[in-house]
Amino acid sequence: MSNLHRIRWFDGQIREGRYPNSAALAERFEISRRQAQRDIKYLAYSLSAPLLYVAKYRGYCYEDKTYALPLLYMTDEEQKILNYLARRYRQYDYDGAASVKRVADLLDRFAPDGGDAQELRLPVFEAAPELIDRAERLARAIADRAVVTLTYREDAGTEALTVWPLKLFARFDSDYAGVYSAAEGRRRTLRLDRVAGLTVTDGRFDPAGLEEAEWTGGGTAARKPFAATLRLPGPVAAGSAWQGYRIRAVPEPDVAVVEFHDADAFLQQLWLAESAWDALLAPRWLREKLTRRCAAVLQRMNSANER
């Protein structure tokens, strides 16, 4: 049975105020507690559900009661609309016809003709209005080479920044902006969901030569990627990839040296792909950072249990 069916049941139990947990989910669908916990984690991290564990009831509720599960399947009507659009795009024969027909091919992949497409599933991404607004304003600032002022939230607090926006990109279900801070003389990567108070100023910047400048500081060499040493469940090969990260070396058959640039994004991937690695062997600073995060989660859980 699809885990999405189980997630819909779990969502319904929450809305009925029954405070479901992994034990209830496992019993209802005759699955293991571990599988049930994976379903709950998928609901929280992949579907962005605002889950809150209530120790008093030994189960979950939603912190934000307005949350709704994203549309995971296309209805017959939605398939008809996509089929219609695919046909119209394919019949287009004016300026840019080749590009338009490529769009038609893409639509055909998601909306095949005929009625045998059961449970056709599209990728689900967060489309929060505030994220869309930030992305659009930053995209315009990048096009206009406009200086941007903003407030950025991190674990240590907030900071006011004046930056030159360079590019927008997505990584592991999060949206990022690559910016350059002239005051710090370095490039930074900012998560859009941590940006607040965004203002596009009348100031302009010149990106000429910035690619070289942003990777250097005081004449030092270009910044190299970090490397994490992971013990994996099975053998791997050098030059391949782990969860999209390049494997630089394989000192042992089940040990991989993985390259990364963004520590927060890499830790997030470790958290989401817990079954894809057995141990984080190095570096020490990354192990300590992961330990602190785990300790913070445990502290919040213990605080909730004491209430």
Of 149, 208, 154, 231, the residue nearest 183 (C-alpha): 149
Residue 220, domain member (yes or no): no
Domain C-terminal end among 192, 214, 236: 214
CA distance linking residue 285 with residue 296, whole number of Å: 17
Evaluate whether 233 touches 276 at the Cβ level (below 8 Å): yes
Cβ neighbours, 10 Å, residue 176: 19
Judgement on whether residues 133 and 210 belong to the same structural domain of the protein: yes
Judgement on whether residues 137 and 204 belong to the same structural domain of the protein: yes
**Residue 174 sits in a domain of what CATH number?**
2.30.30.100
pLDDT of residue 121: 44
Number of H helices, E strands in the chain: 9, 12
pLDDT of residue 21: 94
Judgement on whether residues 241 and 262 belong to the same structural domain of the protein: yes
Domain C-terminal end among 214, 239, 261: 214
Domain C-terminal end among 161, 185, 214: 214
Judgement on whether residues 164 and 98 belong to the same structural domain of the protein: no
Q: Euclidean distance between the first and final Cα of the chain, in Å?
A: 37
Domain hosting 194: range is 129-214
Judgement on whether residues 139 and 94 belong to the same structural domain of the protein: no
Residue 287, domain member (yes or no): yes
Q: What is the amino acid identity at position 128?
A: A
Judgement on whether residues 82 and 51 belong to the same structural domain of the protein: no
**Residue 9 sits in a domain of what CATH number?**
1.10.10.10
Pairing of strands 226-231, 255-260: antiparallel
Three-state secondary-structure class, residue 138: helix
Residue 185, domain member (yes or no): yes
Q: If you search the block for the tokens 């009925």, which residue do you land on?
A: 16
Judgement on whether residues 201 and 231 belong to the same structural domain of the protein: no
Total domains, the chain: 4
CA distance linking residue 24 with residue 169, whole number of Å: 39
CA distance linking residue 287 with residue 290, whole number of Å: 5
pLDDT of residue 303: 80
Structure tokens at 82: 């996509």
Cα 211 → chain centroid? 26
Evaluate whether 146 touches 92 at the Cβ level (below 8 Å): no
Ranges of the chain whose pLDDT falls below 50: 1, 112-125, 212-223
